[in-house]
Homo-oligomer: A and B are copies of this chain.
Amino acid sequence: MSSEATEERVLAAVAERRELVNDAIDEDLPLAPPERLYEAARYLLKAGGKRLRPTVSLLAAEAIADVEPLSTDYRSFPALEGDDIDVMAAAVSLEVIQSFTLIHDDIMDDDDLRRGVPAVHKAYDTETAILAGDTLYSKAFEIMTETGARPENGLGAMRMLASTCTQICEGQALDVQFESETEVLPEEYLDMVEHKTAVLYGAAAAIPAILLGADDDVVEALYNYGIDSGRAFQIQDDVLDLTVLSDKLGKQRGSDLVEDKETLITLHARQQGVDVDGLVDGERIEDVSEDEIDVAVERLRAVGSIEYARQTARDLTEQSKRRLEVLPDNEARQLLCDIADYLVTRGY
């Protein structure tokens, strides 16, 4: 299938569930007193977002239960043992965690904008943003306790949620640490990416399996599907930062190079003997011309670093799709494969 058709199917699957997810966020995280706190906590969630991770969760449930997509109420979804499970609550919980990490990351990186609106610490203030993030954190755990799953499954979901959050923090710490390290191995970079980004995709895919009472090998396969495609997603992000023309990217391309951010591409180039630190001159993206970026990208392309990253992402995507072979062959499973493809074929 062409990548345009895949993208179309994925965007339709996401769009079909977005309103359901948004309504559920409003229900599970209502505006409550103290209102300023909850306004700040909800601000970024209300500002938009594709809802890709919740969509992964909902499709995973449908694939496991082998039901027609969108044929079943996500709030009372049939578990394999016959109980009714609120898989939507799990999907919301993970989106809430994602929002918490963005709020705190933006404070740490002092980023002013997010999803086209001021970051929470700019729209409010740093104190409120820290507290809003902290509130989302515990709210996500509260919401995850309310799925109606059997206690052992509910506890298993909580365990995965907690370890996922720990790993995200570890990944963020590694990312910061790598900025001041001169030699990072590609494996170390991939490990950082796994912690910082991929584990949340892993949890989004695996937690519904835990809640529905699926076998351990299904839980593990879905987790690894998320890890592999999450890693591929991040690598593709790094490729896009260099290869997509600035007007399409919505920001000047090459920002990672200017900011001396290590990616799989720069790490590979270093191994080929490229003086990565000397590729572009200037501390801020405004000081670097498009031409200079063109030359740098050409150099990275010439030594095979961009293709190496692309190929690594493609290999991870193929691996992620093979993970799903433990599931029944159905439309939801196919959509999960499409999402994996979409994460590395999307243009920007």
Contact = CB atoms under 8 A, between A and B. Distances in A.
Interface of A: 33-34, 36-37, 104, 107-108, 126-128, 130-131, 133-135, 137-139, 141-142, 145, 150-152, 154-155, 158-159, 161-166, 169-170, 172-174, 176-177
A323 to B, nearest CB: 25
Q: How many copies does the complex hold?
A: 2
The 5 A-B pairs with the shortest beta carbon distances in the complex, nearest first, are A138-B165, A151-B151, A141-B162, A37-B173, A151-B152
Given A131-B169, A134-B169, A169-B134, A161 B141 contact: yes
A331 B274 CA distance: 72
Contacts of A139: 162, 166
B142 A159 contact: yes
Nearest to A174: B34
Contacts of A128: 173, 176
Contact of A131 (B127, B162, B172): B172
Contacts of A36: 173, 177
A55 to B, nearest CB: 24
B135 A107 contact: no
Nearest to A150: B151
Contact of A34 (B108, B159, B173): B173
A177 B38 CA distance: 13
Contact of A137 (B145, B163, B165): B165
Contacts of A37: 169-170, 173
A326 to B, nearest CB: 25
B135 A170 contact: yes
A31 to B, nearest CB: 13
Contact of A130 (B107, B165, B177): B107
A100 to B, nearest CB: 8
Contacts of A169: 37, 131, 134-135, 138
A104 B161 contact: no
13 contacts: A34-B170, A36-B177, A104-B134, A135-B173, A138-B165, A139-B162, A141-B158, A141-B165, A142-B159, A142-B162, A145-B159, A151-B151, A154-B155
A142 B166 CA distance: 9
Nearest to A138: B165
Given A130-B104, A134-B104, A151 B141 contact: no
A135 B166 contact: yes
B151 A155 contact: yes
B108 A127 contact: yes
A174 B38 CA distance: 12
Q: Which of A36, A128, A135 has the most CB of B within 10 A?
A: A135
A207 to B, nearest CB: 14
A164 B37 CA distance: 16
Contacts of A127: 107-108, 176
Contacts of A155: 145, 151, 154-155, 158
